[in-house]
Amino acid sequence: MSGHNVWTHKGTFLLAAVGSAVGLGNLWRFPYLTGENGGGAFILVYALTIFAVGIPMLIAETMLGRTSRQSPIMGMRHLTRTHKTSRAWESIGWLGAASAFLILSFYSVIAGWALHYTWLMLTGSLVGADAQTIGASFDALLASPGLMTLYHTLFIAGSALIVGMGIHRGIETGLRIMMPALFAILIVVLIYGIINGDLGAAASFLFTFNIGDLSLEGWLQAMGQSFFTLSLGMGAIMAYGAYMSSEASLTRTAISVAFVDTAVAMVAGLAIFSLVFGAGLETGQGPGLMFVTLPLAFSDMPFGALVGGVFFILVLGAAVSSSISLIEPVAAFLVERFDMTRPQAVTIMVVAAWAMGLLTVVSFNIWAEGTIFHTLFGRSAFDFIELLTNIFMPLGGLLIALFAGWALTQSEVMKELGTNLTWFKTWRFLVRFVGPAAVSFVFLRTIPQVEGYIIPALGALLIVGAFAFSQRLRKATP
């Protein structure tokens, strides 16, 4: 990769990685899971997993990108050749690209809903509306494939425009404007929630330390959230790592990304639940919290329409910063492999993801039931695509940990980490043993079963295969 494709400032990778990590999951999934799973106990498990698994794996994925200075697919091809390992390790790049492509296809549809709500809020359409009206409004959106396709198209086209403009003019400039603006908006919404809502109830809901409420499923959800929130295993971190300055510290940057990502989730939780409790509403689940409960809270509060509109602009910004990181791994591969221009590569990636996204659009209406997906897998097309990402991402993360832990030499890692022997040994132990064990545990316990046992069996087979590869590598690696 040519030298000009490096971030112009050492801190830009931090912005890019945080932008990739901070998305819809931080703004509603994390706060909801925390409240439902013992509050502080959930956060403790999450924090421990972030430290013991998330940060070492984030370092590993960034390291592979920075060492190869190429897109995830071409980078892994380069690394397998230079390290004389099995070409099967190239699957890391392909799994990341497949995950990014599939996630972008449905992420764009869901993010498109925020466009709809930004418009509804800023025009004052929901001022004074009751729960039934807002619920009916959300149902009407889901029932309209035409409207959902319009928003899906607008959102993905906007993301494509940023990536198509290039590393510096597009992604870097976009992130430098977007990320500080997002943090500022989040603080504004938090202050608004403190003034008009019930901060005490929100803090109690999120941070009461009740270990008894944390079931095994809660532990698994905390661990799973810590992997997925850092964008591990979808190629984005490896692609961004390829543009990272050699002088920037991998360890400090990874810790900063994890800290900022978690802080955003905590602040979002306090802001959202202050409003929810202040309005005397129930804490909804999933999309219902953001698209039904929150609009209801805003509808009765002073300046609620304006702040609600601003909040959904925050949601849109967080979604865009994540979606550009999903476009980049595949676009970078097309540029490198087929010598395309960046706009050509981005167009191909985005048009294909847009077309795939139409399956998600119709999953909520025309194809809500009785399709081939329901017949074969007992789930909608959207649920099936999401299931595939739940397989590819942890599997990709697992293989990244094994490759970085076993294939890279000590001198190579020491040079990249730029640290002392103690941290090197700690990192290598975590990435060789703790990370793969934790990911495998969550992967096999939480994966939804198709036909009873096929997917867990397949997962176990792949994990055993990956471990066998690592043992072969161990013999070959000094």
* Residue 124, token pair as written in the block: 């004052």
- Structural domain total, the chain: 1
pLDDT for 3: 42
pLDDT above 50 (res 67): yes
Nearest to 394 by CA among 161, 92, 121, 166: 92
The predicted-structure confidence for 419-463, as pLDDT tens digits, reads as follows 788 999 999 999 999 999 888 887 776 565 444 444 555 555 556
- The answer to whether residue 318 is domain-embedded is yes
- The answer to whether residue 170 is domain-embedded is yes
Residues whose CB is less than 8 angstroms from the CB of residue 215 and which lie 6 or more positions away in sequence, other chains included: 37
Of 138-142, 163-167, 453-457, the poorest mean pLDDT is in: 453-457
Complete DSSP assignment for 178-219 = HHHHHHHHHHHHHHHHHHHS-HHHHHHHHH-B-GGG--HHHH
- The answer to whether residue 472 is domain-embedded is yes
pLDDT above 60 (res 403): yes
Place 81 in a pLDDT band, splitting at 50, 70 and 90: very high
Rounded distance between C-alpha atoms, residue 154 and residue 267, angstroms: 29
What does the pLDDT average to over 366-378?
A: 77
Rounded distance between C-alpha atoms, residue 258 and residue 22, angstroms: 10
pLDDT for 470: 59
Of 39-53, 130-144, 365-379, the poorest mean pLDDT is in: 365-379
pLDDT for 246: 86
- The answer to whether residue 3 is domain-embedded is no
The predicted-structure confidence for 239-291, as pLDDT tens digits, reads as follows 999 989 888 889 999 999 999 999 998 999 899 889 988 988 877 656 677 88
Residue type, 179: M
- The answer to whether residue 1 is domain-embedded is no
pLDDT higher at 387 or 60: 60
pLDDT for 371: 73
pLDDT for 4: 42
List the domain range (segments joined by +) for residue 120: 11-476
Provide the 10 A C-beta neighbour count for residue 372.
Answer: 10
Residue type, 346: V
pLDDT for 468: 57
- The answer to whether residue 295 is domain-embedded is yes
Rounded distance between C-alpha atoms, residue 165 and residue 183, angstroms: 24
- The answer to whether residue 438 is domain-embedded is yes
pLDDT for 465: 61
Counting residues of the chain whose pLDDT is more than 90, the rounded percentage is: 45
**Top-ranked range on mean pLDDT: pick from 124-138, 344-358, 398-412:** 344-358
Residue type, 14: L
CATH at 295: 1.10.4160
C-alpha torsion 460→465→466→467, nearest 10: 90
Nearest to 436 by CA among 405, 457, 475, 477: 405
pLDDT above 60 (res 208): yes
Place 148 in a pLDDT band, splitting at 50, 70 and 90: very high
Residue type, 246: S
Rounded distance between C-alpha atoms, residue 271 and residue 278, angstroms: 11
Helix axes 131-142, 145-164, angle to 10 degrees: 70
Rounded distance between C-alpha atoms, residue 122 and residue 115, angstroms: 11
pLDDT higher at 175 or 476: 175
Query: In a 3-state reduction of DSSP, which class is residue 127?
Result: coil
What does the pLDDT average to over 40-49?
A: 88
Rounded distance between C-alpha atoms, residue 391 and residue 153, angstroms: 27
Of 98-102, 153-157, 397-401, 462-466, the poorest mean pLDDT is in: 462-466
246 in Cβ contact with 267 (< 8 Å): no
pLDDT above 50 (res 372): yes
- The answer to whether residue 5 is domain-embedded is no
Residues whose CB is less than 8 angstroms from the CB of residue 452 and which lie 6 or more positions away in sequence, other chains included: none
pLDDT for 89: 92
Residues whose CB is less than 8 angstroms from the CB of residue 461 and which lie 6 or more positions away in sequence, other chains included: none
pLDDT above 60 (res 318): yes
Place 37 in a pLDDT band, splitting at 50, 70 and 90: confident
- Average pLDDT value over all residues in the chain: 86
